[in-house]
Amino acid sequence: MIIDLDEQRRRRLVHKPWAWRNLSKEAFTELCLSALLDLPPPFNTLPDDAAGQLYGVLCARLDWKERVRFIDRIILEPNFVLRESALLTILGKEFDAPVAAAATARLMAGAPIDPHGVPVSFHEFAEMLCEGTLGNPGAVVAGALMVADRQLITAIEGVRPLLAVDTVATAAQCCCGYASALVVNFWLDWIEELLDNRFDSLALAYAHAAVSALFIPAEAPARHEICEYERVPCSEDLGEEAITVVRRWSFDAFRRRIEPRMRRIAAHEQRPRIMQVIMRSWGYD
């Protein structure tokens, strides 16, 4: 329900940005929600840039936690096409890492999968990444990793050449403490590959940016259990479970499993060295 606005007034106000300031925060939030979801007229003919402009103003009026709740409301939209369009518009305007990562994770988790087992939304994300139209590409990469199974990990590996060093650093920081087995191995694989090119200063810069993803804070849920996930073909019904656990390790068992790789990275890391700090976070001597 649109607060303080009837449909006739919405028709006028959506095309009058100068009038938005007079709306209450609640009314403007509802106006933005309707525009993003392309629900009633005139929103079904609203240009994408107008919906993006509305969300840009919303960013100034809601804090990041309120915007995550706003995104959760979009997720309830039963029509996947509308839901995807709204979330992609948000990803083009959202610069705050927690919000962009949350929007991406919800988008990828709820998307149908293509014949290769990759969420169909990933292809839209990859196109936006290539075009440079994502507000925070590093956070979007991290959000995709948070719901990744093997097929999605492979797809993310395919877009690594598109990522700048600062994008990798942001993705790593967002992933810090999020230790699914596949995500840890994604970062380990990439860091080892980069360190193999130890005479390439750019590769070393990427490796240094990526290493922070391996840090495990003392309060991280992964300290209890580390899992590997796979995606369930769930089509568009978010009432179904989108991902399921296929393998579990205790924290101690998993850290013993990756210890040789962690020590090898530490031995080859260039200055400034942070792997010793990361290894202590895992409990290695």
218-267 tens-digit pLDDT: 887 777 888 888 765 544 444 444 667 778 899 899 999 999 999 999 88
Got the DSSP string for the chain? --TT--HHHHHHHTT-GGGGGGS-HHHHHHHHHHHHHT-STTGGG--HHHHHHHHHHHHHHS-HHHHHHHHHHHHT-S-HHHHHHHHHHHHHH---HHHHHHHHHHHHHHS-B-TTS-BHHHHHHHHHHHHT--S-HHHHHHHHHHT--HHHHHHHHHTGGG--HHHHHHHHHHHTT---HHHHHHHHHHHHHHHTTTT-HHHHHHHHHHHGGG---TT-GGGT-EEEEEE---TT-TTS-SEEEEEEE-HHHHHHHHHHHHHHHHHHPPSSP-HHHHHHHTT--
Read off the pLDDT of each residue in 30-38 and give the average, rounded to a whole number: 83
pLDDT of residue 242: 61
pLDDT of residue 3: 42
Q: Where does the pLDDT of residue 110 fall: very low under 50, low under 70, confident under 90, or very high at 90 and above?
A: confident
204 or 17, greater pLDDT: 204
Read off the pLDDT of each residue in 77-104 and give the average, rounded to a whole number: 92
pLDDT of residue 5: 55
pLDDT of residue 201: 86
* pLDDT over threshold 70, residue 170: yes
40 or 132, greater pLDDT: 132
